Structures are given as C-alpha cells and as structure tokens.
Amino acid sequence: MSRPRSRRSPSLPRITRSATSAALLASLLGLACNSPSAESPAEPESASATSAALEIADEGTRFEPPRTAAEIPSGAFVCNMGGSVHFASYHAGECPVCGMALTQLP
C-alpha cells in the first residue's frame, strides 16, 4: 500500500528566494523615487555665467589653477599654454609668470 502524500509547506530556499526578490525590488523602487525628476534638472554652469564671474584686474590676473580660454572674457590678452590660461590681462605684453608673449582672445 502506498502512503498518502502529505502537503508540505514551501521549501526554505523558495521562501528565501522570494524574500530576496522582494527586498531587491523594494530597493530598486526606492532608488527610482529618489532620483532627480525631469521637472527639476540640475543647473548646468554655462560658459557665459563663468565668464561673467571671472574678473581680470587692471594689472592682470594669475589663475591658480589655470583656466580654459573659454572662461576668459573676449578681448583679453592671455598666456595660453595648450588650452590652459594661467595669466590674463587687458593689456598686451609678456606673461610675468613664464615670459611668453600674451596673445589676444577674439
């Protein structure tokens, strides 16, 4: 005679797998809710805003760390070393830092 099959509760690995899946889903939903929305994008810093904030003294200004040429106001004379500007002035002349001739930005 065969024994009647008993109803077993779900196995422990199946319960663990379900709990892990539920925890993972809750974590992902929590991350999605905390992400910045399209209605409030981060404010990118525009080149014009940077240029407006960048001031050059009458006797010239040394930049440490160096700035990009795009950040310097147009018409200024700069010491441009491979795209990095470490000195700028509104007057032509030589860079007091390295001795190179200053070039005027368009």
Strand 84-89 to strand 77-81: parallel, antiparallel, or no bridges (unpaired)?
Answer: antiparallel
Q: How confident is the model at residue 47 (pLDDT cuts 50, 70, 90)?
A: very low
The C-alpha R_g of the chain, in whole angstroms, comes to 32
d(CA 76, CA 56): 9
Given a cut of 50, is residue 106 above it in pLDDT? yes
d(CA 58, CA 78): 13
Could you give the 3-state DSSP secondary structure of residue 102?
A: coil
Given a cut of 80, is residue 88 above it in pLDDT? yes
Q: Where are the domains of the chain?
A: 47-104
Given a cut of 70, is residue 39 above it in pLDDT? no
Query: What is the pTM (predicted TM-score) of this model?
Result: 0.51
